[in-house]
Structure 1
Amino acid sequence: MSFLEDIAAALDDAGIESRAHDCTLFVPITSEVEIHFVDIDPDFPAANVYIAAADVDEEDEDFEAVLVAVVFSVDDAVATVDEHIATDQVVTILRDVLDGTDDRLADLDFFQDEDDAHTVRAEVAVNSEIHVCVDLEEGVPTATVDFMALGDDDEAWDDEILSLGSFTDYDRLLDVISLAAEHAEEWEEQLAPIDEDASTGPVPRSALGGLYDTDEEEYFDLDEDDED
């Protein structure tokens, strides 16, 4: 078997379809994008990897294939396909949240963070935001959700952040976002500064470093509860 035939067989075992033509193996990633493996050596297992538009013929003047990698083993080829499929899933999740395609997001208006393309944000309550960051963790699309109560001057050091967890299940993610929006006003109020200092003013909860016991006047590290 040729190198491309070995790749096609391995992809088939992984449930990924492909088609071969001459010295090129075509692997659809979406209806619009596909990967091309082009055999570049008759005696040595090696193939250029291109990303190309799936709906444009190679003979079309608008056809463009971008070289993104070179693989020298079947395992590397399959890993490359898996990575691009997972990356597309990340983009799809971000786009769905931005577009509010699910009814659970109907009352939220997400926008893309100007500094991080993998993060989208939505304003909630009086002065808070829900942040959703979607990225690959060990090859798996993972969404991390934070509730952020903004400081009066919108300074990062004055913000209070409530971590809501990381999720690989899209339906679960939407449930969490919806719940966060529902409890936004309550959480914003509870995350407000809780102590007053005559010289410096309110002390943010983040400065306390843990739970504060007013009777014992001691600080307790939240990590102690996580050892179980």
Structure 2
Amino acid sequence: MSFFEDIAAGLDREGIESRVHDDTMFVPITSDVEIHFEEIDPHLPAANVYIAAADVDADDDEFEAVLVSVVFSVEDAVATVAQHMATDQVITVLRDLLEGTDERIGDVEFYQDPLDPHLVRAEVGENAELQVQVEEVDGSPCATVTFVALPDSYDDLLDDAIGELWDSDGDAELTEEDREHLFATLHAEAAADAETLDLGVFYDFDRLFDVLSLAADHAEDWEAQLLPFDEDDFDEPDVYDIFGADHGDEDDLEDDVEDEEDDED
């Protein structure tokens, strides 16, 4: 079997379609993007891997396939395709969150964190937010969801910081990007003192949107119940010595035993 036939068999076992035309293997990732394998050595074997727009005539002057890697085995080829498919799913979910394309989150407005492009946030409840981290883990796309009840002082802290940053002038004037990064840093510091609920890690993105919809509906209730926990407010539980040492010394214990024996006699 040729290298392309081996790759096609490996992809087929993973449920991934492919086709070969002339010296190129085409693997669709989405309706707009596909991977091209071009064999460069049939004996090693080896193949260049390109990312290209789908359904574009190769003779088109504007057509351009971008070289992204080189593979030397069927395992490498299958892993490369899986990685690009996972990356595309991550991008798709992030876009759906930011654009609110799913009606289940139509009333929730997510925005992208300026420090971490894979993290999106949305204000919910009175003073809380939903955080969704979308990333690839071990080749599979997933989303980690956290509910954060921000401290009461959060708004005042941000108002003070915004006033200082936006009023800066002269040589110390900050760019919009600098201000966004500083704002995100201040937000992270304030959120460090917040109360949180871990809502889980989701590989099923349809279920993810169900969870986000439910979280938005219950935000005020969760926020009211997430009270700060102070260990000093709770006394240490009493721990009793199962051998009776807490009730007296050993001599007292022996006297009690002797008294009991006398009573029995």
Q: Same fold (TM over 0.5)?
A: yes
Pairwise CA RMSD:
1.9
Unmatched 5+ stretches in structure 1: 194-204, 219-228
Deviation at 1:35, TM superposition (A): 0.4
How many Å separate the matches in 1 of 2:42 and 2:84? Answer: 26
Q: Does 1:168 align with 2:203?
A: yes
3-state SS of 1:40 partner:
strand
Deviation at 1:158, TM superposition (A): 2.7
Change (3 A) 1:7 1:131: same
Deviation at 1:215, TM superposition (A): 5.2
Deviation at 1:172, TM superposition (A): 2.0
3-state SS of 1:15 partner:
coil
- Max Rg structure: 2
Residue 62 (structure 2) aligns with: 62
Taking only the aligned residue pairs, the percentage that are identical comes to 63
Q: Please report the TM-score for the alignment, with normalisation by the length of structure 1.
A: 0.81
Deviation at 1:77, TM superposition (A): 0.5
Residue 161 (structure 2) aligns with: none
How many Å separate the matches in 2 of 1:42 and 1:157? Answer: 55
Name the amino acid aligned to 1:60.
Answer: D
Q: Does 1:187 align with 2:222?
A: yes
Residue 200 (structure 1) aligns with: none
Residue 235 (structure 2) aligns with: 216
Q: Please report the TM-score for the alignment, with normalisation by the length of structure 2.
A: 0.70
Change (3 A) 1:165 1:213: farther
Q: Is contact 2:3-2:42 (8 Å) kept?
A: no
Name the amino acid aligned to 1:89.
Answer: Q
How many Å separate the matches in 1 of 2:223 and 2:207? Answer: 23
Q: Is contact 1:146-1:163 (8 Å) kept?
A: yes
What are the residue-to-residue correspondences of 1:46-57 with 2, within 5 Å? 46-57=46-57
3-state SS of 2:45 partner:
coil
Residue 80 (structure 1) aligns with: 80
Q: Is contact 1:130-1:145 (8 Å) kept?
A: yes
Structure possessing the higher relative contact order (Cα contacts under 8 Å, 6 or more residues apart): 2
Deviation at 1:213, TM superposition (A): 8.0
How many residues end up aligned between the 2 structures? 202
How many Å separate the matches in 2 of 1:156 and 1:120? Answer: 14
Name the amino acid aligned to 1:216.
Answer: D
Unmatched 5+ stretches in structure 2: 158-186, 238-265
3-state SS of 2:192 partner:
helix
Residue 128 (structure 1) aligns with: 128
Residue 105 (structure 1) aligns with: 105
Deviation at 1:69, TM superposition (A): 1.0
How many Å separate the matches in 1 of 2:93 and 2:42? Answer: 40
How many Å separate the matches in 2 of 1:42 and 1:163? Answer: 50
